[in-house]
Each structure stands twice: as C-alpha cells, then as structure tokens.
C-alpha cells in the first residue's frame, strides 16, 4: 500500500523503518537535526553512523530542509530521542498536513515534565491523530528483514489499524492495542530494567540474578502502569514483557551494553559515551524515579538503578540492598 511517509529523525530505528516501508512501495522523506549526518546519508546512501552496510532504497529521499518532508505526507514518524520529542513536535506543528497520522516511536518519559509522549502531543495539539509504535524491535534486525512483531496503540482503533495496514507485512507483524498508557510505559520503563540487567552482567552475576531482576522489574512496570490508568494485561504483551526480554538479553541493546560497562566499574557518563548512542534508560531512570515519588508508589529496582547511575551507591551495594529488603509475599497487592 503506497503512502508518503515523513521521518523526523534519522537514527537507527527511523532508518530501519524507512527502509522497511520503502520496500512496501512507500515514498519516504527523511530529515534530521544533525546536518553532517544528514549529508552523509545523502551522499553515501547508507547510515554509516548507526547502521552501516545497508544501502538506502531509491524510494528514500534525504531532505536537507525540514519543511520539504511534509509535502503530501500521509504519515509523519517522529523517531527522535524521547527528551527531544516535545521540541521536535512543536517545531513541526506549523508544517504538519491536516489529516496526517503522527506515529511516535520514541521510548521514554520527559524529564522536564514527567509526561509521556502522548501527553505532550495532545497537550500541544489536542486533535492530534497520534499513534505509538512499540515492542521488541532491534533496528539492526528490522533493516535486514528479520521477523519482528510490535504493537501500535491509539485512542481510536481505526487509526491504529490504518498504521497496521501500512507498516505490516510478512517480515514485520503488527498487533493493535487501545492502551496508549501501557504501551508507552512498557517501552519506556523496560530500558531501566535493561540497564540493571547489564549492570548485573557486568558484575559477573549469573542467569538467576538476571531472571529475578527481569521478573521483579515487570512487576514495577505494572505497578506504575496501574497507578497511571494502564491496562495490566498490556505489560504481559509485546511492549511489556516482550520488549523487556529483548532489551535485557541482547547485545544490540544499548541500555544493556551501557549497564555492562557500569557494572564493570566505568563511570556512567563515560559508559554512555562509549556506547555512542542515546541510552534512554539513563534519562528514564531519573524521570521514573521522580514520577514514582510524585504518585506515591514503591519501585525499589528503579530507585537502586537511579542511585547507582547518579553515584549515590555502588552497583554491588545496590544489589545488596535489593537482596536484603524485608520479607514479603510474591503476590502482594501491586498497589
């Protein structure tokens, strides 16, 4: 189904989705705030910075000026880091075609306002035709056509189904969901747990420790979700446990890689530089920690990771604190 798709942000995930859609007879236009990166994409027809080795199809057009990408756009994909979503959306507002569907693929909670991306979008544009796409999806695999399954959520099922039809094929399967809160929180909070999984690996702890961290991590994710109005079932799905598994267990995961370096003793800021890409879990740990305090819920793993990356406690001491918490029943009421 051919469509005109505009991409704001030409990182790894935006590029992978553009390549995927270009093979489905979609015309894709891409723009990025990094002019040097954009020029490299244009001149080399390849994302040398993030996804080297895959040539961009002819149906992907690199635009050096942002307004160009909106001409005739049916869908506008925001593939910028979560902390830049608000400014990117506000900047694009004057160019957005009236009926264009906005697809956000960023995973995070805004540090300044402690809001999710949909809250920001609807605050800026109350009638936004907003869809969130999330789930276990490494760009490195999607760009070469390996089987991947994700979820899309919107206020209106018809809107989610519209994106499902455009994006889905035999390589990228998409399920619809009407729980925007749960899908956004799942995609955001799992990055914190992935940092913890990496720290555990970096410390030399085994599979038992990581399995426990992931299991109790999904409990924390669900706890915040319920408090904020999400459907608890969402956290058992693709954007919850699905994304958690892939992010905690794969070396494609920048959050896990960053955590490994921290666990091995590297300063968190240096670890982020070493990874060389945005590590959303670093920002989300701060946002989620403060949000948990604001809404009055307990998130001990998130708190331990927050304290570790801010130098308040060592990684080993954080583990000791978690292991030494008071006894309780596994199925205590989540809230």
Catalytic positions are 190
In whole angstroms, what is the distance from residue 167 CA to residue 162 CA? Answer: 9
At residue 56's C-alpha, the angle toward residues 52 and 59, to 5°, is 165
Kindly give the pairing relationship between strand 130-134 and strand 101-104: parallel
Cβ-proximal residues to 249 (8 Å cutoff; 6+ apart), any chain: 197, 210, 256
| Cβ partners under 8 Å of residue 40, min gap 6 | 48, 49
Asked if 51 and 18 count as a contact pair (C-beta separation under 8 A), the reply is no
Whether 103 and 31 have beta carbons less than 8 Å apart is answered as no
CA distance 313 to 332: 28
Q: Are 173 and 148 in contact (CB under 8 A)?
A: yes
Q: At what angle do helices 268-275 and 254-263 cross, to 10 degrees?
A: 140
Question: What does the alpha-carbon distance between residue 192 and residue 294 come to, in Å, rounded to a whole number?
Answer: 18
Map residue 136 onto helix, strand or coil. Answer: coil
Report helix, strand or coil for 228: coil
- Exposure of 92 in the CB half-sphere (CA atoms within 13 A): 33
Chain centroid to CA 281: 9
Distance of CA 273 to the CA centre of its chain: 19
The helix or strand, by DSSP H or E, that contains position 21, with its residue range, turns out to be helix 12-22
């Amino acid at each position: 189904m051919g469509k005109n798709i505009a991409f704001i942000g030409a990182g790894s995930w935006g590029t992978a989705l553009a390549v995927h859609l270009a093979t489905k007879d979609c015309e894709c236009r891409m723009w990025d705030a990094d002019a040097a990166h954009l020029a490299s994409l244009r001149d080399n027809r390849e994302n040398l910075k993030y996804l080297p080795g895959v040539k961009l199809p002819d149906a992907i057009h690199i635009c050096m000026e942002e307004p160009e990408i909106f001409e005739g756009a049916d869908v506008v994909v925001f593939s910028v880091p979560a902390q830049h979503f608000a400014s990117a959306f506000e900047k694009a507002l004057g160019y957005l075609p009236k009926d264009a569907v906005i697809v956000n693929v960023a995973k995070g909670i805004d540090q300044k306002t402690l809001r999710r991306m949909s809250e920001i979008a609807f605050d800026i544009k109350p009638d936004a035709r907003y869809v969130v796409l999330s789930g276990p999806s490494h760009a490195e695999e999607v760009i070469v056509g390996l089987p991947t399954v994700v979820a899309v959520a919107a206020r209106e099922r018809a809107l989610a189904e519209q994106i499902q039809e455009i994006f889905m094929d035999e390589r990228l399967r998409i399920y619809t969901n009407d729980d925007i809160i749960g899908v956004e929180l799942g995609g955001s909070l799992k990055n914190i747990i992935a940092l913890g999984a990496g720290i555990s690996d970096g410390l030399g702890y085994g599979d038992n420790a990581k399995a426990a961290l992931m299991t109790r991590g999904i409990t924390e994710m669900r706890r915040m979700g319920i408090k904020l109005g999400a459907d608890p079932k969402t956290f058992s799905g693709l954007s919850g446990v699905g994304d958690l598994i892939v992010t905690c267990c794969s070396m494609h995961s920048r959050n896990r890689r960053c955590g490994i370096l921290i666990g091995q003793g590297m300063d968190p800021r240096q670890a982020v530089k070493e990874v060389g890409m945005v590590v959303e879990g670093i920002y989300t740990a701060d946002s989620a920690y403060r949000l948990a305090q604001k809404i009055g819920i307990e998130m001990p793993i998130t708190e331990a990771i927050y304290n570790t990356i801010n130098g308040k406690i060592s990684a080993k001491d954080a583990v000791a604190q978690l292991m030494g918490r008071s006894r309780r029943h596994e199925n205590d009421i989540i809230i």
